[in-house]
């Protein structure tokens, strides 16, 4: 009996074409067009579901919810073995983690894209999509959560990050490595995540923003985001989770208004930890009820906090463990 995979398409470079000016237009190719070019396996039954054709920086929580719903609809068919989502690379890691947090199903869900268009010399479109299909039907990937397949490697959605603007090796998981590889259509998995969180969204996803910390930064961005209705703010601190002392007054005022703050680190590896005692340190912020973002990067922490605020009544430190 043939394995069954549903390919959910959203646009991006993987579905792009050149216009008359020689510039790429992201997401103008339909999923059916893309599938016919990719030499997909004959022994696997493919169903293509076009959800949208957009550049990935045009995808926000509303579009993520549409992708989530399309996946859930496909998974209602018990004969579907796995899902592949094609996506632009610029926000791929964000959508992948959103899906990981909001879909509770043991079957593989794979997100992929490409750094080059289907027409480019040396394009990675065909290999990434073909490899993703093979991962989506592999039993070893069951109960792993959402994974990203790129350049013959399999990554956990929580830790994957776009690390190169154009190179085919566009994604990496600093400090954690990849879960496995695909070599000549054979899937090999070497490690799996030991923990997976899923949440049922039952409220409107609120505004959550990111404020980057740098030398001399003040609270003007924090104040502006709160004025615009932010319910949560991610502080991308430095080192163990420190922020500029000139930001503290705005943080404290925000906390008084009920804004949830989470501090992360801009370092590629390591965790936020209350090591120091001074104005703006992780310990100082923790004492003021700022949540410590552990090893989350700022983008993933934003996705996590937004999902938490739309799913549960009280967000606590334990939610970021």
Contact between 80 and 105 under an 8 Å Cβ cutoff? The reply is no
pLDDT for 40: 74
pLDDT of residue 41: 73
More confident residue, 279 or 32: 279
**Token pair for residue 45?**
């039954």
H or E element at residue 171: strand 171-172
Between CA 178 and CA 155 the distance in angstroms is: 5
For residues 38-55, give the mean pLDDT: 86
- At residue 255, φ and ψ (nearest 5 deg) are -60, -40
Question: Averaged over 166-172, what is the pLDDT?
Answer: 96
CA 221 to chain CA centroid, nearest Å:
24
208-313 to CATH, choices 3.40.190.10, 3.30.565.10, 3.40.50.40, 3.40.630.30:
3.40.50.40
pLDDT of 27 higher than 70: no
Which residue is catalytic, options 9, 10, 13, 264?
13
Same fold, 3-189 and 208-313: yes
DSSP 99-110: HHHH---SS-EE
Instruction: Please name which of 310, 298, 302 lies closest in space to residue 206, comparing C-alpha atoms.
Output: 310
Average pLDDT of every residue of the chain: 94
| 264: annotated active-site residue | no
The answer to whether the CB of 161 falls within 8 A of the CB of 124 is no
CA nearest neighbour of 111 among 59, 52, 156? 156
- pTM here is 0.95
Q: Where are the domains of the chain?
A: 3-189, 208-313
Question: What pairs with residue 5 in β-bridges?
Answer: 46, 82
Burial 77-110 (b: 16+ CB within 10 A, else e): eeebbbbbbbbbbbbbbbbbbbbbbbbebebbbb
d(C-alpha 140, C-alpha 187), whole Å: 9
For the ranges 191-195, 230-234, 243-247, 272-276, which has the lowest average pLDDT? 191-195
Instruction: For residues 179-196, give the mean pLDDT.
Output: 95
- CA gap 188, 284 in Å, rounded: 45
pLDDT band at 18 (very low <50, low <70, confident <90, very high): confident
pLDDT tier for residue 29 given thresholds of 50, 70 and 90: confident
pLDDT tens-digit series, residues 115-166: 998 888 889 999 999 999 999 999 999 999 999 999 999 999 999 999 999 9
The 10 Å Cβ neighbour count of residue 76 is: 7
Written as six digits, the tokens of 143 are 């109960």
Task: Identify the pLDDT of residue 244.
Answer: 98
Q: How far apart are the first and last CA of the chain?
A: 42
Give the model confidence (pLDDT) of 241-299 as tens digits.
999 999 999 999 999 999 999 999 999 999 999 999 999 999 999 999 999 999 999 99
CA atoms within 13 A on the CB side of 210: 16
Q: How far apart are CA 203 and CA 187, in angstroms?
A: 38
Tens digits of residue pLDDT in 75-105:
999 999 999 999 999 999 999 999 999 999 9
**Cα–Cα dist 109/112, whole Å:** 10
What's the token pair of residue 315? 């967000």
Residue 117 C-beta-side C-alpha neighbours within 13 Å: 15
Tell me which residue of 129, 99, 110 sits closest to 13, measured CA to CA.
129
- Burial (CB < 10 A; 0-12, 13-18, 19+), residue 158, is buried
The Cβ of residue 29 has, within 10 Å, a number of other Cβ atoms equal to 23
Architecture per CATH, 3-189? 3-Layer(aba) Sandwich (3.40)
Share of the chain above pLDDT 90, in %: 84
């Amino acid at each position: 009996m043939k394995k069954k995979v549903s390919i959910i398409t959203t646009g991006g470079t993987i579905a792009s074409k050149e216009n008359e000016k020689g510039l790429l237009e992201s997401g103008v190719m339909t999923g059916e067009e893309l599938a016919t070019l990719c030499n997909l396996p004959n022994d696997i039954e493919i169903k293509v579901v076009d959800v949208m054709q957009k550049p990935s920086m045009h995808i926000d929580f509303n579009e993520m919810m549409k992708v989530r719903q399309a996946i859930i609809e496909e998974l209602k068919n018990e004969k579907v073995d796995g899902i592949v989502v094609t996506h632009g690379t610029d926000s791929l890691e964000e959508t992948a983690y959103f899906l990981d947090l909001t879909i509770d199903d043991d079957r593989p869900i794979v997100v992929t894209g490409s750094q080059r268009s289907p027409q480019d010399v040396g394009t990675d479109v065909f290999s990434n999509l073909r490899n993703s299909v093979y991962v989506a039907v592999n039993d070893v990937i069951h109960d792993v959560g959402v994974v990203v397949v790129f350049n013959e490697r399999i990554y956990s959605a929580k830790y994957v990050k776009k690390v190169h603007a154009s190179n085919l090796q566009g994604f990496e998981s600093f400090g954690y490595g990849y879960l496995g590889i695909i070599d000549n259509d054979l899937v090999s998995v070497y490690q799996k995540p030991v923990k997976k969180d899923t949440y049922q969204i039952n409220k409107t996803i609120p505004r959550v923003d990111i404020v980057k910390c740098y030398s001399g930064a003040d609270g003007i961005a924090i104040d502006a985001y709160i004025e615009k209705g932010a319910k949560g703010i991610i502080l991308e601190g430095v080192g163990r989770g420190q922020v500029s002392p000139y930001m503290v007054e705005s943080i404290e005022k925000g906390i008084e208004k009920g804004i949830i703050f989470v501090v992360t680190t801009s370092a590629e590896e390591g965790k936020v930890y209350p090591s120091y005692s001074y104005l703006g340190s992780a310990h100082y912020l923790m004492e003021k009820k700022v949540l410590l973002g552990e090893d989350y990067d700022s983008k993933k922490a934003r996705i996590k906090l937004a999902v938490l605020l739309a799913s549960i009544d009280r967000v606590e430190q334990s939610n970021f463990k």
